[in-house]
Structure 1
């Protein structure tokens, strides 16, 4: 990190780009930060209420969490130049706070996105409405996300302990991968929603807040002093793709008129899962009973002797 910071310190204009931050921008960014947290609450409530991952694509959970980690890795590296300016005393406290707002916002967004996966793991584990095979896939997703987090931590260490060129290369790669995954992650979720013909556990309320908020958040990142294109591009793409998914969910939930509406289709899907789980439990109980009976059978015991 020292080597990288020293290379920045040799340039007189390194810190000047962060000067003159706007008070209006600070207030607006704080508002956006709280908005990010609020936008995820409907999804958390829906998972807690339904106790099933029905309607949520496992690939969407994987790619969404990984995309968030890529973006967080990017902003940690990109914002390190501003943090150096703060440490060196080249910036006022006000300008320092402004220079790190993007990091705080993206850090919160990343945490909130991964929390969806965590809640699905915790709240649907013993639920009778949870497809067991689907839950096994979610466990694999959680392990892959944890591995990605470890790899990203290593990337951050490398970026902060080398020169500026390597740091921005790592940051740009993570930004590009985040944008790519943002596009890809909505494809399996759109396919899942199209196939099921109902949103299921996917929250329309969350998307109603996040879709317009995504465009606003992109604008705040774009106009922040010292911003880099790789930090805001993924959020622009995410807003566009999420808008498409939201439109599809609203169509099935409120406008699709046929013999089976979205609520009925979801109810039947959950009933099927419950029936399969009950049948599996009964079968398992029956096998356990047979094994206990065999162990008490005197003929079987004598034959073993």
Structure 2
């Protein structure tokens, strides 16, 4: 966890090609891992079953991670513009973790917009729009110190304590991000628009990184425990959703996932069994 670190005042020197490739690959995989989720939403033209609260928490958490890393890397930025003309390109290895965080935020943020776009009902759209503007406000305010830190008159030391607070808040959000999604999958009795592939691959990659931190770099507990909880929550979502999807198919359900079908009066099968009991609060999620 970046919040456990101090300001980074020197660039990474002589990074092995294998580690550089790993860093670049992680940036690409963060983006490519979201493709199955986009495909499922756009193919079904529905985002029902995705928790808007989980999506919103994810956006704020990812933004806080970017803010935290930006401040901690602020002192490295001027070093990219000193020395010979190739200094800028050589220093990029020092920012791969930051680039990965930015890519993750950029790849996942549009899910909330799709949730709004494919939602029906005036009250629900207003609720989602309010959540969107709340996210924009929080993220914009939180980003100001990071922008100042990387400006010509800013330094990491000036905002280091702020970065640590933001990093701590990111940890808290990570630990509770998927709780609303677990509830929605339980209430809807199925996966809905949730992509098993996106969550599964993300969890597997996350566990690999946790093991790397524990056994390879021997990092402190605070640097890997939040991510262990986060990725375990992803598996919990998969387990709950798969249980209901599997049992429904076992009862004879065939064809298209019925949690994605709109409700038609007089057609009980058009909804998954949990939709009627979920209530308005579930719709807001």
Q: Taking structure 2 as the reference length, what is the TM-score of the superposition?
A: 0.75
Contact residue 218 and residue 236 of structure 1 kept, 8 A:
yes
Pair 142,232 (structure 1): closer, same or farther in 2 beyond 3 Å: farther
Whether 2:80 is the aligned partner of 1:86: answer yes
Match of 2:93 in 1: 98
**Which residue number corresponds to residue 48 of structure 2?**
54
Distance 1:98 1:224 in 2: 20
Match of 1:152 in 2: 142
Q: Which residue of 2 is the match for residue 170 of structure 1?
A: 162
CA–CA distance in 2 between the matches of 1:238 and 1:192?
A: 17
- SS in structure 2 of the partner of residue 53 of structure 1: coil
In the alignment, the residues of structure 2 paired with residue 197 and residue 141 of structure 1 have an alpha-carbon distance, to the nearest angstrom, of 25
Q: Radius of gyration: which is bigger?
A: 1
Distance 1:273 1:15 in 2: 65
Partner residue of 2:178 out of 163, 174, 186: 186
Alpha-carbon displacement from aligned partner over 1:1-56 (angstroms, at most 9, x marks no partner): xxxxxxx8xxxx9426x223121011112222221111111111111122233111
Paired position in structure 2 for 1:297:
none
Shift of 1:158: 4.5
**Residues 202-232 of structure 1, C-alpha deviations (whole Å, 9 max, x = no match):** 111211221112234567889999x999887
CA distance in 1, matches of 2:262, 2:68: 40
Q: TM-score, normalised by structure 1?
A: 0.71
1:117 pairs with one of 96, 112, 137 = 112
Which blocks of at least 5 consecutive residues in structure 2 are unaligned?
1-6, 268-285
**Matched residue pairs, number?**
256
- Structure 1: gaps spanning 5 or more residues: 1-7, 276-305
Equivalents in 1 of 2:266, 2:37: separation in Å? 22
Higher mean C-alpha displacement, 210-219 vs 89-98: 89-98
Whether the 8 Å CA contact 1:46–1:201 is kept in 2: the answer is yes
